[in-house]
Amino acid sequence: MVEIFYDAFLMPQDRTKAETDEFLLKTFAYIDMHLHEKILLDDLARYTARSKSSFCHLFESKMNISPKQYILQKKLALASKLIDEGVPRTAAAMQVGYENYSNFYRIYLKHFGTNPTKKEITK
């Protein structure tokens, strides 16, 4: 009898963890596939079959960062890597979804504390 109660008690927690893991894996896969374009929270929510507010709340509670900040960090990390590999800065900005180089420049400077034109290229 104790085993049945124990199993019944743990099963919902295990299911919730598995659903959360699936949610995060699905979210990360979508972001990685669409990193080169503008990623809307509405699209992410729809892809994971959640409302926008539910998506944002669950993501932030599991990752301790907002989805927008996570996407921004992923885009900037990829842009930095591309620049390190010798890709021209404007091309790197476009490859991570920035149509306007000045917006990319401003955000890059704020995030890294240096601008992409001053970044040392490591080869």
Q: Rounded to the nearest 10 degrees, what angle do helices 67-84 and 52-63 cross at?
A: 60
Q: Do 93 and 104 form a contact (C-beta atoms < 8 A)?
A: yes
pLDDT in tens, 88-97: 999 999 999 9
Lowest mean pLDDT among 9-13, 28-32, 34-38, 108-112: 9-13
Non-local (6+) Cβ contacts of 118 within 8 A are none
Q: What is the DSSP code (8-state) at residue 122?
A: P
Helix (H) or strand (E) holding 92: helix 89-95
Domain boundaries, the chain: 2-64, 71-112
Binned at pLDDT 50, 70 and 90, residue 117 comes out as confident
pLDDT in tens, 72-81: 999 999 999 9
pLDDT above 80 (res 20): no
